[in-house]
Structures are given as structure tokens and as C-alpha cells.
Amino acid sequence: MTTYRRIVLAARPEGAVKPEHFRLEERPIPAVPDGHLLVRNRFMSLDPYMRGAMNDRKSYRQPQAIGETMVGGTVGEVIESRHPKFKVGDVVVGGFGWQEIGLSDGGGGLRRVDASRVPMQAFLGVAGMPGVTAWVGLNRIIAPKAGETVVVSAASGAVGSVVGQLAKAHGCRVVGVAGGAAKCATVVDEFGFDACVDYKAGRLEADLAAATPDGIDGYFENVGGAVLDAVLARMNAFGRIAVCGLIAGYNDEPIPVHQFRSVLTNRLKIQGFIVSEVPDAWPPALAELAAKVADGSLKYKETVARGIASAPAAFIGLLRGENLGKQLVSLD
């Protein structure tokens, strides 16, 4: 093997993402300079934030450069090392993006993980960035008390499914919102939520009201749009909303919020956050999440696409909500 493949951003989408916005390239495997290591990526993570990075406008991250490797988290094995702290065979989580190989000087957040008790790809999901995202939004912003009602959108996803399970462990009534009967069944039957509202069923307000008879105290926002409005209308006094994602607007379509008045009438706190900016939360969150995965008390689902060439279609599917749980690409 002397070459590897990567996917670069070929063009910025105007509206919906399409396959032609990506380009598959073949490149020679680089030589490993002193102090560096080479990683064979085994899994790539696909996440909604990547859609935002594809736009060339102010956001919380630099725009993804045209012609450069698509950004993203990866997990893989060290296959060559000239770095004192890593050896061949180490399993490492990094941010090598959409490519089969990664060259690193050991910085950039690269970290060795213990894949003996937890499957390595879990460090991209439930025991990785999405899991920590759930932990931070729930514990640092929503801060739920036992007996309160917590609602989570995109409830079957990598973040939402963890939010609900952690909130349940806090003694809350936990209600998910997801698209379709199959996802809702998973949310209730496998992730243990008390109820799940299928927003595609056309009765969002009525179903949400039935599922939250005591109103809503905490909301973990992954979606935006109509779900946010429906939730705002049912928030209780002093409710908290953690804004983690707004998938409904990633394609630049307007997403007006009609129930903003609830912020005043119910004295709500709404806070947006980016998990990478809360570094002190990572060690306790990762420790708790990995322990719960290992002992089986924290469930997770994966949707795995095979081979790097499948990544664009899998990503487009993710934005459409076609995945169940964490969307991964395996590179075996």
C-alpha cells in the first residue's frame, strides 16, 4: 500500500448538500518525519456540525477550505511511529478528517484510548465528542432536578440518546422527539425514554402536550424549527434550553422562531454551547460515559457506512435524518 484515499470539499453547497460537493482523491502515503506518527483510520465520524463548516460565513468554527480534506473525528491504529509517546498498535482518537491515513506530530488533541472494554468506535460517539456534548448541555445548562420533565430533539441520535439516558438517571421524566415510528420505538424501547413524539406524524403540538402533562423544564435542542416552537409553548417557569444544534437551518433556509415570548413570560434561560469550549468537562464526562458503556447501563446505536467512498452519501443521509444513532464510516 503506497497510496491512500481522502475526500475533499469540491464546492460549497447553496442549500442542500449533494455528492458533487465532494471529491475523492488518491494520494501517496507520506513519509514519517522524526517526532511524528502515522495512523490508519478505522472509523470516521460524521456529524451535523460539518454542514455548518461547509458554509463560508461566520460561525463558531473556521469554514472548511475548498480542496482540503473534510474535517472530522477519527479513531484508528498507529501503524508507524517516530514519536516517543506512541507505539505501533496504539488506538488513537484524532481529528484526521475524511481520509484513510493520518500523519500527526502528537498534537491537535490526539489521544490514546483504552479499547479493551469499549469498542473503539464508541470513542467517536457515546464515549466521545457526542457523548460529552450531551453531558455538558444536560449537566451544565439544563441542570435537571429529579421529577422535572426534560425533552430532547433528535432523540435517537448520537447526542440525543445520551441526553435522555443521563436525564433519566437524574430522576426526570424524559421525552424524545424523533422522525418516524421506528426511531420513536427505539427511543422508548431501547434507550428507555418515557415517551417519544414522532414529529413526522403531523400532530406535533398535540402529541407533545400529551407526552408532557406537567409542561417542560429542560430542553436539549438539536434541531430548531417547528420543534423548538412547540417546546417553547410548553415550557414551565424557569425552564432551561441548551442549544447544541439547529439542523433545521443548516441549509440556510430561514427558521423563524414564533414563540420567543415564552423567554419572557416563563423567565427561560437559553444558552448555546460548543463542547470543545468546555475543556474542564471532558475528563469527568468521558470517565462517566466510558464506565457506563462498559457496564452496559448506557445504550447506543450505530449506523455504519462501509468504505471512504460511501461518506458523502452517508453524510447526506445524516442531514436528512436517515441514520439511527451514531453515523460512522468504517474504513476496514
Binding mask 211-240 for a copy of itself (x = CB under 8 A): -------------x---x--------x---
Contact pick of 152, 270, 319, 331 for a copy of itself (by CB under 8 A): 270
Tell me if 304 contacts a copy of itself by CB under 8 A. Answer: no
Q: Which is nearer to a copy of itself, 106 or 272 (CB)?
A: 272
**AA letter at 249:** G
Tell me if 277 contacts a copy of itself by CB under 8 A. Answer: yes
- 11 contacts: CB under 8 Å, gap ≥ 6: 20, 21, 66
**CB contact at 8 A, 161 and 146:** no
Bridge partners of residue 303, in order along the sequence: 327
**Element containing residue 282 per DSSP (H, E):** helix 282-294
Tell me if 264 contacts a copy of itself by CB under 8 A. Answer: yes
Residue with cell 475533499: 8
Tell me if 244 contacts a copy of itself by CB under 8 A. Answer: yes
Distance between CA atoms of residues 180 and 164, nearest Å: 18
Contact pick of 53, 70, 78, 246 for a copy of itself (by CB under 8 A): 246
- 267 contacts: CB under 8 Å, gap ≥ 6: 237, 238
Burial track 5-38 (b if 16+ CB lie within 10 A, e otherwise): bbbbbeeebeeebeeebbeeeeeebeebeeebbb
Q: How far is CA 186 from the centre of its chain?
A: 18
Residue 289: name the closest of 121, 90, 125 by CA: 125
CB of 161 to a copy of itself, least distance (A): 20
Tell me if 14 contacts a copy of itself by CB under 8 A. Answer: no
Q: Which is nearer to a copy of itself, 61 or 200 (CB)?
A: 61
Q: Which is nearer to a copy of itself, 157 or 245 (CB)?
A: 245
Tell me if 139 contacts a copy of itself by CB under 8 A. Answer: no
Tell me if 257 contacts a copy of itself by CB under 8 A. Answer: yes
Q: Which is nearer to a copy of itself, 271 or 310 (CB)?
A: 271
CB of 9 to a copy of itself, least distance (A): 19
Give residues in contact with a copy of itself (CB under 8 A): 52, 58-60, 224, 228, 237, 243-246, 249, 254-258, 260-261, 263-274, 277
